[in-house]
Chain A
Amino acid sequence: MFKNHLKIAWRSLRKQPFLSVLNTLGLAIGIAGTLLICLYIYDELTYDRMFADAERIHRINVDMKFGGPDKQVSQVSGPMAAAVLQDIPQVEQTLRFRPWGTASLSRADSKELVLENNTAFADSTLIDMLGLKVLYGNPKDALSGPNKLLLTKSAAEKHFNLSDAVGQEVVFNESQTYTVSGVIEDLPKNSFLSTYSVFMSMLSHQDQNVNWGNHNYNTFIKLKPNTDPEDIAAPLQGMVEKYLIPYAQEFFPGITLEQFEASGNYVRYSTIPLVDIHLHSNREADMSQNSDYKDIYILSFIALFLILLASINFMNLSTAYSLKRSKEVGIRKTLGSNKMTLVRQFLTESGLMTFGSMVIGIALVIVVLPYFNDLANKSIAFPYLNPVFWGILLLSVLILGLFSGSYPAFFMSRFVPIRVLKGTGENTVGGSKLRSTLVVFQFVVSVFLIIGTLVVSQQLQFIQNKDLGYEKDQVLLVNNVNRLGSELPAFKERVKSLAQVGNASLSGFLPTPSYRTDSSYFLEGKMNQESAINMQGWQVDFDYINTLGLKMQAGRTFDPSITTDSSAVIINESALAVMQMEPEEALGKRIFNGIGEEGFSHFTIVGVVKNFHFESMRNQIRPLALHIGNSSGLMAIKLKSGNFEGAIAQIQTLWDATAPGIAFDYEFMDDSFDRVYQNERRLGTIFIIFTSLSIFIACLGLFGLAAFNAQKRIKEIGVRKVLGASVSQITYRLSFDFLKLVFIAILAAVPIGWIAMDRWLQDFTYRIDIGWTVFVLAALLASGIAILTVSYQSIKAAVMNPVKSLRTE
């Protein structure tokens, strides 16, 4: 019986190639899109789960306020790890990282430098706690003493034969010599360590600020089995009174926890499971670029929409075209077929089509996956050999086939034989209302997605074009200038004297991603913790403000001819607001920076700089203090308009003359700026792609329905033409019915889109207002696409010779 069903199914699919192709294609695209999103989401959800006992590993976070705005940080003080291990019995093991950013490596016997993007000091527990696979070397020994270093396979291969690597010496940042004590497998792409390639033993880290006041260590703890993280919350918070307050008393003699908190300050410790970090941690000093769980929700919705749209298409087209088969149903019933046999017959057909769609969909995914990986910055592999994947996929496709096929099957099997055979069936068979409703639903989804896409891209545009308060264009950033050592000031002067160069400044602190450090400042005469002001404190040089085009609100910029400017400070408007002062009032006031090895250093406010954005526009601009100092990680060079390549070549020539053998590494500041919004941009692109897909699917359905409608009304069109209707009148008539549905959909989608996108925008401190133009544009786009889709069929029907259409009687 089933074989017979299959045979008939295959024949009827071939008999209606137009319908079969539309149905299969729509469903295949829907399946491919949904599958891609599912693979993406799966990848995001499985972050960091590959590590040993990952669900027992947690990171200690701190939320604190100590003057200035509150901060959420993913790093805690250096002594914390030892303290929790000693004081909290549920803690089994701890692991600290001190990320050290980009560094150069060279073999001890070679001058050739290789840059590694991400390096970190790590405790010796690294391998054991995370269960990393050591390819060469003794796992126990790897980071157990000073000057030991661990390389990933890729990093090691750049310098040595893998098997020889262990025991070799490498020079780190051209200063410190380390011995390679182990080579590990490259770190999985979907882990928080994916970008790290070099780990130095923590024991070699010379940190003068290992105290409870500095928060510089990403600290992980492994809890004993069956420990509820809630159980350690209280003892963890107890660290404040036990260790932090005694430390604070060195600066504020006699201060108690109560006094500290009474002034509105606080320090709160908490933990986050390792496996939650990727989607739920948006903190300062995260070790990797994290995603937002909200994006996962958004993508899940899009995936659901895609498959729903494709399934609706399937139902709509199948029921519409079933009218053509009403005669077949009538005859089968007359000859004794019962309802269930017919249902099975039609389900076999839809099953066959769904299966075909799945095969095509999978093929599409395999073809597209490399491009998608590029776009999404992932390395998702198609899970060819994963039986669970195939099981879920087949089950989902089976459900999809049943879901999409059941309505048409039951719908068709209900035909009353006498009516359909007499030919009055067409008019008595219902279902067109449901079809209209489904079309409306499809377009609600499409219009909503269009609105979403427009808002996301407008917000991105806004960020791109917003006055940042500094000039990021035509600024060249040269990396690793501290390599030039004592030659650096001379190099800078030589660069400045080039005709193509407007100005140049040395500082590791830039508005685009670069160094950050903050500490507490006090106004003179208010040396108590209630009046502490937490600010970013950046060391810059005399050319900094001019090079970046910062604008002064009051006072003056740094002046090399004024000797006291070595202790001058320029604050931004946010800092002024925290001090609750007018600009003129602040000028000449002295502030103290309380934390530093040489104790208190004082600065005199000589100017107030207008606020400029140095963090993502999701956040407020924080208080900032600029003072003269040596921080020579980067050199910013403002170029004059014209031949950039020529200018860069000239600078490189100077560089090569000054520092032969050291690579000249640069980028443009606007590229660096773009990286801040990489996630948003990626989301925007993904949005656009899947929105287009869903519109395409909706249009396939509309196209099929329009064809069906034109066919059904072929007699009417003929009669109207005989009676004198013009082609345009008929086209309008045929198209109008569909456009009416699209119009209803627009009305429904606009409020939903407005509410949803308004909520999305709330995440940005600096954001656009959603204007009416977005909705008009979305409406025009949707109806424009619908008109194009429908009018093709309508015009085709309208220009047909009425003699032909009337002959079909």
Chain B
Amino acid sequence: MIQIKNLKKSFRTEEVETLALNNVNLKVEEGEFVAIMGPSGCGKSTLLNIIGMLDNPTEGSYNFAGHEVAGLRESQRTQLRKGNLGFVFQSFNLIDELTVFENVELPLIYLKMSKSERKEKVMAVLERMKIAHRKNHFPQQLSGGQQQRVAISRAVVTNPKLILADEPTGNLDSKNGIEVMNLLTELNQEGTTIVMVTHSDRDSHYAHRVVNLFDGQIVTESQNRAIGAII
């Protein structure tokens, strides 16, 4: 599903040019659950952003489901992203002014789905995430765990092929963290591909495969044997 070849990404500030990613090669098959790990500043999030088509690589190629993404214009990337990708962030990134229901509904609006269809889909996903009773609340009225469940609802409501999660448990206590990881595993088992950036060893054990980044390069890749059997 994802094929990345010789990918480079550099950032230029006034004085220095920083190479965030250096010759990254990565392949992710459909239905895989991949964790990306590494110390702060190693380029994890940059890689995730490129995979999520939020950013363009400086060099190299990125093929997503048969489409070459590198070099696409922003509007074309937006088009390709819509409905195919779901995002889960560490800080949830819910819109404070919108209710739970409206937050989850948002990606469907951008897909120009009819109102009745939207309602049906949003309610289904909220039921599934056990947060439907809070649909009229605003994000600040929810606990962290609940907020992340809303964020995951929003990520999956379009039935995306790929979910990108950036430290999804980083702002949660362990109980809520495990709950979120179980949700992601469940989605993966239903066929959704997941790429997750994490600092947490515990979370990485939920993945099929762990990719270790250091200074913008992949240093090791390891297969997990005992999926979901930790703790």
Contact = CB atoms under 8 A, between A and B. Distances in A.
Interface of A: 424, 427, 715-716, 718-727, 729, 799, 801-803, 806, 809
B110 A724 contact: yes
A806 B87 CA distance: 12
Contacts of A729: 110
B89 interface: yes
The 3 A-B pairs at the shortest CB distance, nearest first, are namely A724-B110, A724-B82, A723-B107
Interface residues of B, number: 24
Given A427-B140, A722-B52, 5 more contacts: A716-B95, A720-B110, A722-B93, A723-B107, A724-B107
B116 interface: no
Nearest to B81: A724
Nearest to B50: A803
B217 interface: no
B97 interface: yes
Majority SS at the chain B contact face:
loop
A719 B154 CA distance: 11
Interface string B93-130: 11111000000001100110000000000000000000
Given A427-B96, A427-B140, A716-B97, A723 B54 contact: no
B78 A726 contact: yes
B55 interface: yes
B91 A722 contact: no
A780 to B, nearest CB: 30
A427 to B, nearest CB: 6
Nearest to A716: B95
Contact of B89 (A716, A726, A806): A806
Contacts of B107: 723-724
B222 interface: no
Nearest to A718: B93
A709 to B, nearest CB: 12
Nearest to A725: B110
Nearest to B84: A724
A799 B106 CA distance: 19
B54 A802 contact: yes
Contacts of B154: 723
Contacts, number: 51
A803 B96 contact: no
Contact of A722 (B54, B75, B140): B54
Given A723-B154, A725-B110, A726-B75, A809 B91 contact: yes
Given A803-B55, A809-B91, A723 B106 contact: yes
Contacts of A726: 75, 78, 110
A806 B95 CA distance: 12
Nearest to B89: A806
B140 A715 contact: no
A782 B44 CA distance: 48
B75 A727 contact: yes
29 contacts: A427-B96, A427-B140, A716-B96, A720-B106, A721-B78, A722-B54, A722-B93, A723-B106, A723-B107, A723-B110, A723-B154, A724-B78, A724-B82, A724-B83, A724-B107, A724-B110, A724-B111, A725-B110, A726-B110, A727-B74, A727-B75, A729-B110, A801-B54, A802-B54, A803-B49, A803-B55, A806-B89, A809-B91, A809-B93
Nearest to A726: B78
Contacts of B54: 722, 801-803
Interface of B: 49, 52, 54-55, 74-75, 78, 81-83, 87, 89, 91, 93-97, 106-107, 110-111, 140, 154
A689 B82 CA distance: 50
B95 A719 contact: yes
Nearest to B46: A803
Contacts of B78: 721, 724-726
Contacts of B55: 801, 803
Contacts of B97: 716
Contacts of A724: 78, 81-83, 107, 110-111
A801 B77 CA distance: 12
A424 to B, nearest CB: 8
Contacts of A721: 78
A772 to B, nearest CB: 36
A716 B82 CA distance: 17
A131 to B, nearest CB: 72
A801 B52 CA distance: 13
Contacts of A722: 52, 54, 81, 87, 93
A677 B142 CA distance: 70
Contacts of B140: 424, 427
Contact of A715 (B75, B82, B87, B93): B93
A436 to B, nearest CB: 15
A420 to B, nearest CB: 16
Residue of A718, A719, A720, A803 with most chain B CB atoms under a 10 A cut-off:
A719
Nearest to A723: B107
A718 B87 CA distance: 12
Contacts of B110: 720, 723-726, 729
A17 to B, nearest CB: 18
A725 B74 CA distance: 11
